[in-house]
Chain A
Amino acid sequence: MKISRRNRDVELNEEFRDHLEREIQKNIADGMAPDEARRRAAIALGAIESAKEECREQHLSYWIETTLQDLGYGLRLLRKSPGFTCIAIAILALGIGANTAIFSAVNATLFARWPFPHPEKIVIIAEGAPAKPGWSLVSVPNFEDYSREQKTFDQLALWISQSINLTGQERPDRLIGSVVSANFFELFGTKPQLGRLFLPGEDQSGAENVAVLSHDAWQTRFGADPNILGRHMTLNNETYAVVGVLPAGYHLPFESDVYITAQHQTSYKRDRATRVLLMIGRIKPQVSRGQAEANLNTIARSLAREYPETSANINVAVTELRDMMNRFVRKPLIFLLVAVAVVLLIACANLANLLLSRSTQRQREMAVRAALGAQRSRTIRQLFAETMIIAVFGGMAGVALAYWTLPALLRLAPSSFDLGSVAVLDSRVLLFSLGLVFLTGVLFGVAPALHSSHINVATALASRSRGTAQTGTRERVRTAFVVFQVAMSVVLLTGAILLLRSFQALLATETGMDTRNLLTMEYRLPRNKYTNSEAQAAFHRQIVARVAQVPGVVSSAVVRSLPFSGNFGQIRFVVPDRPAPEKGKEPIAYANSVTPGYFATAGIPVLSGRIFDDHDSPLARTVSVISRAVAERYFHGEDPVGRSLQIVDNNSSIDGKPIIIVGVVGNAKQMSLRDNDEAEIYTCYSQDSGIFGTLVVRTTVDPMSLADPVRQAVWSIDNDQPVWKVRTLAFLVERDVESDRFLMVLMLAFGVLALGLTALGTYGVLSNAVNQRQREIGVRMAMGAQPSALRGLVLTRGMKLALVGGLIGVAAAAAGTRLVSSLLYGISPLDPAAFITSFATMQFVAFLASYVPAHRATRVDPMRALRCD
């Protein structure tokens, strides 16, 4: 039964009064005079109010009531000063909103939920001499040995991605395919929605051709055909039967439209020198990654002993698959998370300062409370409730802000971040926001609460108390907050400017080509239709010729690995006249095969000798063109034209043959603008052909406008040949820098936000100081101080704060930027221009922020200031 508070209080008063009466009676009975009895009794009773308060505290309903009381009071107070409330909530909303948005992105990538249990146990195994963690291919016999001998994995499986031609529909199409070992799905614990998955043995040569479709592919390419099982389709010009369909929305780490078995990999061979597949594994539950790696290394060592020609010196490196896929994204995202947290700290400093300045106005209120017997803890609780209200409203506004801006953020984000559909209402993100709300409430509430509750009642209640010790401490605390803000802003700004300069350096990097007006598209010929290199070379030649006739086309060519596409070939080579390097340690260069018109089409200059022409047929000597980097590094100033080199690459048709260098061309970036290696060896398609090719077309008009005519030209040669990845080279180069741009834009935004908040903070503190010191200013003016001197007083104060904070910030930034040097390109993490610019900008902004209060100081009316008391 709940007794209402009023009743309880009445009862409590009754009880205490009764006690007092009895004590008085006892004293009288002991012989004291009534007045004396009363006095003695009162003394014996002591502090009634605090005793009563303690009694009240024993009941839970008390706590609930007082908390509600605090909240109600806090809400009323905030409503009475809407300006303050709005600013406070707005500042906090910005801070929490930005943090929530960035954390959403981090959550989506780093904690990506994959649809199978224990994703941390899935690893990728690289084999090499020595092994480098990452995507590195393994041979089929080696894989089988590993599988048989290992003791630490549930499963080892093979996977590689492959473009697959789908023909027999209205238009030839390309599917993203995964070529996998038969136990691939078992490793992930996948269950099919329709039909079945692969059976053991279906990945051996001679087994029937079977395929598994993804749910999306079944819906979009095959119209959700209910009789899909057993239906035949033509992939890479061979017939496959569909045996299963994966569940809807099921996303494996490797997105694919169709899955086929390992023996269908283009260059599949069961010998230890052919490496065309990646090895992945699921580690047993109790086993650690280190143990699994050690186990495989034992097997690797015995393989190295038994098969020295192919597997000398090999070992393995085991990496978590998730880490591999996040590799490029993790550092930038964490960097952004830290930066945005700093912005929140600056915002909290602002809020703390705001609250402190409000506490000046509430001094009397606090003093009265204390005089009435309010315990300090109670006052702190009440102030805390006020700050928590601001924090909660700020948090809600922040989450709403994040929800509203997240789609825009996702659109701007580079595709490489693979943010997909980020659910803001994800429970982890909301929990994070809740934690932030609580943390910020504590951060910006603690200092003012502790401070306000510590009142010297006498001095505070004295009218117009000036310059109490408390005011002095408050000033110092506020100054410290501003210095902190300045320092943090300088750190953020420095980071932002470093990224800006890095981005500029990237953009200024030469690609080595003329990237304007170049249309590109990829294709891959089915091996059983173009069975030998002559047929393949003929196709490439024919489409070059046909495409060149399309109106608007200046020139066309085919290249095997288009720069900036992510495709590349690498080989080892030897220069015959030089001392032979150790086997396995020969120099490496990018390898590419091109049609004769490639260099002109791409705009790569010819530096000496000639480029390929019709004389370079399969019957003539094998020729190559090298890039300037190869000439300089391996021929040291001598003219390499006429010299020869030898390629060391088991998978190549020209392995071991001496190749004559006929020309030298300019360097061109192969992988990205950041790539420093520009050693490239070109061969020509007529001598070194293949099924892969990328068409490169220089146009007079907008390249994409010619996409269809060029496609038709290709289909006029072979109307079953799909082409894909139709885009311009300019687009690819753009894509290369999009994550750098994204990072830079966000950091600049954070830097500007930080500057703004700090300016507000500086203005606030100086403004407050001017208000407090009105009397002093009045005196100065009456004594003849010039306005400029007064202005100077305030400005100096502000600039001193900015100077100290700025220097601290520079030192902190200098210490910290080394951590992010991997994000930078072309400039040092201690680039002086960046530091100077951010420091100077901060000083300038601080000057502006100080100017208004400084000006206001000169407008003080000395008569009013001196008189008002």
Chain B
Amino acid sequence: MPPQTDLLQGTLDLLILKTLTLEPNHGWGIAQRIQQVSRDVLQVGQGSLYPALHRLEGKGLINSDWRESENHRRAKYYELTRAGRRQLEREISEWNRLVGAIGLVIEGA
């Protein structure tokens, strides 16, 4: 099994929000997508995923809805809200700033 990387709570929120920009998805789908796109580096366990989803929903950044899924079963789909989109932009720019700063330190110092 590929090594699991510990994700900070805030970073997980960022990944979830980004994943939902394309289209609404259910929890399992979000986790799969993150794993695929990150080439198996980032694996989100359901123990951290679902609490994060519920938290984001509580903050009004995502909405949830029960729909019929592709295998004709009911699944809980999450989608991004307008507030969520704004928050995502903020988080991305904050992330870039952070990464840039760390990069400077590593190269220069």
Contacts and interface: CB of A to CB of B under 8 A. Distances in A.
Interface residues of B, number: 22
A55 B76 contact: no
Nearest to A46: B47
Interface string B12-55: 00000000000000111100100000000000011100110111
Contacts of A55: 50-51, 53-54
A23 interface: yes
A18 B50 contact: no
A16 B45 CA distance: 12
B75 to A, nearest CB: 5
B90 interface: no
B69 to A, nearest CB: 8
Given A14-B74, A19-B46, A59 B27 contact: no
Interface string A36-52: 00000000111100111
A54 interface: yes
B47 A50 contact: yes
A463 interface: no
A15 interface: yes
Contacts of A47: 47
The 8 A-B residue pairs with the shortest CB-CB distance in the complex, in nearest-first order: A58-B54, A54-B51, A22-B28, A51-B47, A55-B54, A58-B55, A19-B28, A15-B76
B10 interface: no
Interface in B55-84: 55, 57-58, 66, 69, 71, 73-76
A807 B108 CA distance: 68
Interface string A17-28: 011011101100
Nearest to B26: A18
Given A54-B51, A55-B54, A58-B54, A16 B46 contact: yes
A255 interface: no
A54 B27 contact: no
16 contacts: A14-B76, A15-B75, A18-B27, A18-B28, A18-B74, A18-B75, A18-B76, A19-B50, A25-B71, A46-B45, A50-B47, A51-B46, A51-B47, A55-B53, A57-B51, A59-B58
A59 B60 CA distance: 12
Nearest to B45: A46
B87 to A, nearest CB: 17
A834 B1 CA distance: 77
Contact of A54 (B32, B47, B58, B74): B47
Nearest to A60: B58
A11 interface: yes
A26 B27 CA distance: 14
Given A23-B28, A58-B58, A59-B58, A18 B51 contact: no
Interface of A: 11, 14-16, 18-19, 21-23, 25-26, 44-47, 50-52, 54-55, 57-60
A57 B54 CA distance: 9
A606 to B, nearest CB: 95
Interface of B: 26-29, 32, 45-47, 50-51, 53-55, 57-58, 66, 69, 71, 73-76
Contacts of A16: 46, 50
Contacts of B51: 51, 54-55, 57-58
Given A16-B50, A22-B28, 14 more contacts: A11-B76, A14-B74, A15-B27, A18-B26, A26-B32, A50-B47, A51-B50, A54-B50, A55-B51, A55-B53, A55-B54, A58-B58, A59-B58, A60-B58
Contacts of A22: 28-29
Nearest to A11: B76
Given A18-B26, A22-B28, A46 B46 contact: yes
Contacts of A58: 51, 54-55, 57-58
A19 B74 contact: no
Contacts of B50: 15-16, 19, 51-52, 54-55
B47 A19 contact: no
Contacts of B66: 11
A25 B71 CA distance: 11
A44 to B, nearest CB: 8
A718 to B, nearest CB: 90
Nearest to B57: A58
Contacts of B73: 18, 21
Chain B CB count within 10 A is highest, among A46, A55, A59, A60, for: A55
A46 B47 CA distance: 8
A15 B49 CA distance: 12
A11 B29 CA distance: 17
A45 B46 contact: yes
B34 to A, nearest CB: 14
A25 B73 CA distance: 13
A22 B69 CA distance: 11
Contacts of A60: 58
Contacts of A51: 46-47, 50-51
A22 B29 CA distance: 9
Chain A CB count within 10 A is highest, among B54, B66, B75, for: B54
A58 B64 CA distance: 15
Chain A CB count within 10 A is highest, among B29, B51, B74, for: B51
Contacts of B76: 11, 14-15, 18
B74 to A, nearest CB: 7
Contacts of B32: 26
A179 B58 CA distance: 72
A52 B50 CA distance: 8
A26 B28 CA distance: 11
A543 B1 CA distance: 116
A14 B69 CA distance: 13
Contacts of B27: 15, 18-19
Contacts of A18: 26-28, 69, 73-76
Contacts of B69: 18
Contacts of B26: 15, 18
